[in-house]
């Protein structure tokens, strides 16, 4: 009887957690709209996507690919550099910034769990990023490929979904950075460091390793592991190595010889999202305000 009565409050708390998370996510979205984050990110993605769409669709006559396939490859390349940066800028001050402003202490006076704050902020920021990505990239796709076939649109939709998933990875990393420090400036520095590490430095080091091997083939398992340890490389394989667009990029050959299949790459990106998010919730639950 004691065990059952002890379990009831825990079950009730779990049932109340989801509405709390949704409420906090809605609050994050409202703040994003008020701070013009939604408008700014949508306009930025739309402007750059339209530029790439109008300039990048010209080679289709020589490579024999549809205009939308070329745009899909161009936008996937843009995503690797831009979406992680936007995600980190959205999330790096989610906790540290509110702590500096004093609003975090006020928020925690309400009967909500700290993990709900983390998950609510993550979902709200993910909704902002997803909306900006769908509208921004969708505008470019409609401008060049609204009358193309289902295969081209399927590849484009897969790229957009993978881009949102890549954004989720860096939102989680930004939230983790925000829980580890107390000043938003420090969190911002960590965010820029993470962007440089995963987008630029890691691949340069990977290329250096390939050069240092002196032309000898590295073990396939080692290559797959190194690719999986970088979410941007997993995204690059998932999108630029896809069947519909792999012929337009050099990574298509690598995708055909790796054991990292698309479902496994999606699992890698999901793990890259879940692990920092869980760690952020763990750290925040034990943080002294």
Residue 148 has pLDDT above 80, yes or no: no
Tokens describing residue 121:
């902020």
Residues in the chain: 289
Q: What is the mean pLDDT of residues 113-140?
A: 93
pLDDT of residue 223: 86
pLDDT band per the 50, 70, 90 thresholds, residue 58:
low
| Helices 150-180, 67-91: crossing angle, 10 deg rounding | 10
Q: Please state the rounded mean pLDDT for residues 15-31.
A: 84
Residue 125, judged by CB atoms within 10 A of its CB (0-12, 13-18, 19+), counts as: buried
Return the pLDDT at 5: 39
| C-alpha span between 118 and 116 (Å, rounded) | 5
Burial of 22 (0-12, 13-18, 19+ CB in 10 A): middle
pLDDT, position 2:
40
C-alpha–C-alpha distance, residues 162 and 147, integer Å? 23
User: For residue 57, is pLDDT > 50?
Assistant: yes
> How would residue 64 be classed by pLDDT, with cut points 50, 70 and 90?
very low
Residue 176 pLDDT > 90? yes
Taking the CB of residue 141, how many other CB atoms lie within 10 A of it?
Answer: 24
**Mean pLDDT rounded to a whole number for the chain:** 83
| Nearest residue to 68 (alpha-carbon basis) of 147, 168, 133 | 147
Q: What is the mean pLDDT of residues 31-36?
A: 83
Give per-residue pLDDT as tens, 271-282: 999 999 999 999
DSSP assigned state of 148: S
Q: Which of 32, 38, 37, 25 is nearest to 119 (CA)?
A: 25
Q: Is 16's pLDDT higher than 50? A: yes
Average pLDDT over residues 28-42: 85
The pLDDT of 226-242, averaged and rounded, is: 88
What sections of 35-113 are H helices per DSSP?
A: 37-56, 60-63, 67-91, 96-101, 103-107
pLDDT of residue 53: 76
% of the chain with per-residue pLDDT over 90: 42
Q: What is the pLDDT of residue 123?
A: 96
Confidence band, pLDDT 50/70/90 cuts, at residue 186: very high
Which of 11-15, 169-173, 216-220, 229-233 is least confident? 11-15
Give the pTM. 0.87
CA pair distance 276, 282, nearest whole angstrom: 10
- By the 8 A CB rule, do 145 and 68 touch? yes
Residue 153's pLDDT band, with cuts at 50, 70 and 90, is: confident
Residue 140: band (very low, low, confident or very high) from pLDDT cuts 50, 70, 90: confident
**Angstrom distance (rounded) from CA 251 to CA 256:** 9
**Alpha-carbon distances, residue 108 vs 4, 86, 178 (angstroms):** 29, 27, 16
- Which is higher by pLDDT, 189 or 256? 189
CA dihedral 85, 282, 265, 165 (to 10 degrees): -40
Q: What is the pLDDT of residue 46?
A: 87
Q: How far apart are CA 117 and CA 28, in angstroms?
A: 10
- Reading the block at residue 164, the tokens are 């949102």
Contact in structure between 114 and 34 (CB atoms under 8 Å): no
For tokens 């109008």, name the residue: 54
- Where exactly are the structural domains of the chain? 10-285
The pLDDT value recorded for residue 199 is: 94
Which residues contact residue 194 at a Cβ distance below 8 angstroms, ignoring those fewer than 6 apart? 88, 170, 173, 174, 177
């Amino acid at each position: 009887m004691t065990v059952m009565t002890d379990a009831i409050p825990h079950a009730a708390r779990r049932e109340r957690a989801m509405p709390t998370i949704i409420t906090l996510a809605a609050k994050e979205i409202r703040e994003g709209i008020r701070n013009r984050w939604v408008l700014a990110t949508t306009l930025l993605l739309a402007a750059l996507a339209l530029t790439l769409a109008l300039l990048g669709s010209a080679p289709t006559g020589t490579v024999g690919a549809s205009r939308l396939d070329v745009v899909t490859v161009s936008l996937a390349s843009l995503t690797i550099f831009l979406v992680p940066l936007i995600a980190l800028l959205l999330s790096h001050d989610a906790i540290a910034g509110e702590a500096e402003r004093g609003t975090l202490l006020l928020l925690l006076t309400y009967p909500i769990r700290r993990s709900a704050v983390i998950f609510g902020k993550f979902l709200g920021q993910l909704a902002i990023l997803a909306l900006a990505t769908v509208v921004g990239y969708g505008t470019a796709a409609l401008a060049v490929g609204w009358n193309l076939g289902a295969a081209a649109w399927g590849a484009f939709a897969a790229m957009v979904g993978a881009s949102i998933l890549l954004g989720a990875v860096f939102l989680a990393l930004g939230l983790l950075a925000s829980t580890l420090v107390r000043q938003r400036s420090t969190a911002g520095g960590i965010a820029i460091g993470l962007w440089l590490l995963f987008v630029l430095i890691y691949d340069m080091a990977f290329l250096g390793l390939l050069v240092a091997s002196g032309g000898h083939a590295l073990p396939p398992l080692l290559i797959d592991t190194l690719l999986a340890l970088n979410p941007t490389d997993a995204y690059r394989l998932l999108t630029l190595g896809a069947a519909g667009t792999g012929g337009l990029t050099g990574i298509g050959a690598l995708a055909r010889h790796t054991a990292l299949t698309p479902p496994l790459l999606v699992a890698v990106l999901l793990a890259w999202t879940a692990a920092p998010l869980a760690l952020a919730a763990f750290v925040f639950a034990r943080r002294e305000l």
